[in-house]
Amino acid sequence: MTSFLNSRELDVSIRILSSGAALPEKILKNSDLEKMVETSDAWIVKMTGIQERHILSDTESFSSLTLKAAKIALERAHITAEDINMIALGTSTPESIMPSSACILQGLLGIKECISLDLQAACSGFVYALVTTYYFMLSNPNIRYALVMGCDALSKITNWSDRATCVLFGDGFAGLVLENNPQAKSPGILYCGLGSDGTGKSHLNVCWGIGQGYEKSNETNHYIYMNGREVFRTSVNYFSQLILDSLEKSKLNFEDVDWIITHQANIRIIHAVAEKLNISKEKLVVTLDKHGNTSAASIPLAFNHLLEEKKIKHGDKVMFVGFGAGYTWGVVIFQF
């Protein structure tokens, strides 16, 4: 990774207080996809581990689900929206080009003034937002509470007649509340690191953007393109190396970490990483069977699942590992 920080060397405690998540009401099962493209439930489960995914309906919006997830996180943190000093939102599918989705969320929450920004790092977007917020909080003690969101509506950029990609993606909205409290007993975030490699841009992309002009929109693919074989190989290698590097730099080992939450892209990727590093599968959180690949939302959705199932306890150490188009990547280790 090109940058990292071992927070145990600093006299700070920036910790995760709570999480919140929201999923669209509409569920698209593999059996539904069998009627749309030439595929089968058995093949999808074998190749991806996905059984169903949630898709925004005509009566739902990106902002309404983002707001719902944020309100749940605030309620669980026992704070009000007015306590929030910063909102960072990772997404590749914002509600609008401008203003940012974070700024829209700020307005919906009724927050009069705070820092609000979107970050685009594809499936690493949530980790990028989390690390960026962490650095903001380190540099400015007046940021006491922050909302960090990962929200994506990939159904809007999925070609539902392309069987290579349409089986993978879903919509999801989730986030965390962070607190900057030097007196807290928990050390909170222990380590974080980010990086990217732009040479991977051709293997996973949506190659049209507003900067090319609307006239280009009719001659360029608007949908997600993925070189599945290359992305699979690269993901396994990057996830494995990221986990090893972050443990070495944070001076931790596998026994110290209770939970590893990778981006939820494909069950075969997760299992391949576990086998390559000899990691107990009990440490690896898997929620993609019910959510599909929700890009920036996948890691906070998985963490929220841990909390709601009461599997995680205070004092547990958790590792977030994101990897996405670009390529981009990031790791955060924290004590809950």
Task: Strand 189-196: give its sheet, edge to edge.
Answer: 3-6, 189-196, 328-335, 317-324, 259-262
Alpha carbon distance 77, 307 (integer Å): 13
Give the per-residue pLDDT at 4.
57
Alpha carbon distance 12, 182 (integer Å): 5
Catalytic residue among 85, 266, 293, 304: 293
| Residue 293 appears among annotated catalytic residues | yes
Instruction: State pTM to two decimals.
Output: 0.95
| Residue 263 appears among annotated catalytic residues | yes
The CATH classification number of 189-335 equals 3.40.47.10
Give the per-residue pLDDT at 221.
78
Phi/psi at 257 (5° precision): -95, 125
pLDDT tens string, the chain, 336 residues long: the values are: 555 565 555 667 899 999 999 999 999 999 999 999 999 999 999 999 999 999 999 999 999 999 999 999 999 999 999 999 999 999 999 999 999 999 999 999 999 999 999 999 999 999 999 999 999 999 999 999 999 999 999 999 999 999 999 999 999 999 999 999 888 778 899 999 999 999 889 999 998 888 988 888 777 778 999 998 999 999 999 999 999 999 999 999 999 999 999 999 999 999 999 999 999 989 999 999 999 999 999 999 999 999 999 999 999 999 999 999 999 999 999 999
The number of beta carbons lying within 10 Å of the beta carbon of residue 237 is 14
Domain ranges within the chain, ordered by starting residue: 10-180, 189-335
DSSP 214-252: GGGGGTS--S-EE-HHHHHHHHHHHHHHHHHHHHHHHT-
Give the per-residue pLDDT at 12.
74
Give the per-residue pLDDT at 193.
94
The CATH classification number of 10-180 equals 3.40.47.10
Catalytic residue among 263, 291, 304, 305: 263
Catalytic residue among 103, 114, 123, 151: 123
| Residue 205 appears among annotated catalytic residues | no
Give the per-residue pLDDT at 219.
73
Asked, colleague to colleague, whether 10-180 and 189-335 share their fold, the answer is yes
Give the per-residue pLDDT at 310.
94
Alpha carbon distance 314, 191 (integer Å): 18
